[in-house]
């Protein structure tokens, strides 16, 4: 009997796929999570990008804000879904039970990243539809594809930040920490209005924030020649590695007391 259990292995691909799908469904069915993450960015975009069109220099706000609110929207599920979700599941003992089960531990974390990327795809499609239908935004197909790819993959550094927050904070504190980080960082990074409109010292501060670099990449994908996309990409990779390393250290400490 024990030899059987060793000889036959369950399908890893199936575990990762089902884990990811259910991680997505799990948060999609939670209205307190799904409604704000899907509808708030759309509402802000509609308000500032479509209804109150003040031109930002020569740039059409409907086009410009599609990129930056798209980035703002992609960060939400990564921070709330991954960060807060992880903190809660640790506190409830759910992660402990999963770790005691024969689940490959990587599947748990990979599924949360997949969830955040799926959500980012949803918000990108929502904002993109609004931009085309109501904002008369026109982009080449290649630009649409590039912007979508940037917004979906751009969720990854914020998953790493979520992983770090979730590894350090208790569930209730994690909600507060994410709220303290998410909105201020988005505004200071120029996702709500261009950094150029800020006083100079705030303009200097922005590149310290990962969301600023996400915004630069999204804007460039959407056809705006702003900032340096190459260094923005490097900065995001650096933030991702840094957050992940700190989070792994925190996880290791938590699980080997």
- Residues near other proteins (CB under 8 A) are 1-2, 4-11, 14-15, 18-19, 22, 25-27, 29-30, 89, 92-94, 96-97, 99-104, 255-257
| Least distance from other proteins to the Cβ atom of residue 119, Å | 15
Residues 222/142, Cβ–Cβ less than 8 Å: no
Residue 136 or 253 having the CB closest to other proteins: 253
What whole-number distance in Å separates Cα of residue 169 and Cα of residue 203?
A: 30
What whole-number distance in Å separates Cα of residue 189 and Cα of residue 20?
A: 30
Which residues fall within 8 angstroms of residue 80, CB to CB, at 6 or more apart? 33, 37, 162, 175, 178, 182
Residue 3 or 142 having the CB closest to other proteins: 3
| Least distance from other proteins to the Cβ atom of residue 136, Å | 38
Residue 30 or 176 having the CB closest to other proteins: 30
| Least distance from other proteins to the Cβ atom of residue 171, Å | 12
| Least distance from other proteins to the Cβ atom of residue 66, Å | 31
Which residues fall within 8 angstroms of residue 118, CB to CB, at 6 or more apart? 20, 24
Residue 20 or 68 having the CB closest to other proteins: 20
| Least distance from other proteins to the Cβ atom of residue 85, Å | 8
Query: What secondary structure, in 3-state letters, does 85-136 show?
Result: HHHHHHHCCHHHHHHHCCCCHHHHHHHHHHHHHHHHHHHHHHHHHHHHHCCC
Residues 162/79, Cβ–Cβ less than 8 Å: yes
Residue 30 or 202 having the CB closest to other proteins: 30
């Amino acid at each position: 009997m024990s030899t059987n259990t060793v000889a036959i292995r369950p399908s890893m691909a199936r575990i990762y796929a089902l884990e990811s799908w259910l991680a997505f469904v799990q948060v999609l069915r939670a209205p307190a999570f799904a409604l704000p993450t899907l509808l708030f960015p759309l509402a802000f975009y509609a308000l500032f990008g479509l209804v109150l069109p003040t031109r930002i220099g020569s740039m059409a706000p409907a086009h410009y804000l599609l990129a930056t609110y798209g980035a703002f929207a992609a960060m939400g599920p990564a921070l709330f879904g991954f960060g807060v979700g992880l903190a809660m599941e640790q506190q409830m003992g759910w992660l402990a039970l999963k770790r005691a089960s024969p689940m490959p531990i990587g599947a748990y974390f990979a599924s949360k990243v997949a969830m955040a990327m799926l959500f980012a795809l949803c918000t990108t499609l929502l904002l993109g539809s609004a931009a085309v239908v109501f904002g008369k935004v026109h982009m080449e197909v290649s630009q649409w594809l590039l912007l979508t790819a940037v917004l979906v993959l751009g969720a990854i550094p914020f998953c790493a930040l979520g992983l770090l927050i979730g590894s350090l904070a208790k569930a209730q504190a994690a909600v507060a920490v994410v709220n303290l980080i998410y909105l201020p960082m988005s505004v200071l990074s120029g996702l709500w209005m261009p950094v150029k409109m800020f006083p100079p010292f705030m303009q200097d501060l922005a590149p310290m924030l990962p969301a600023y670099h996400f915004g630069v990449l999204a804007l460039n994908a959407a056809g705006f020649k702003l900032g340096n996309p190459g260094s923005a990409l490097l900065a995001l990779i650096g933030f991702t590695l840094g957050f992940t390393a700190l989070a792994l250290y925190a996880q290791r400490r938590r699980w080997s007391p």
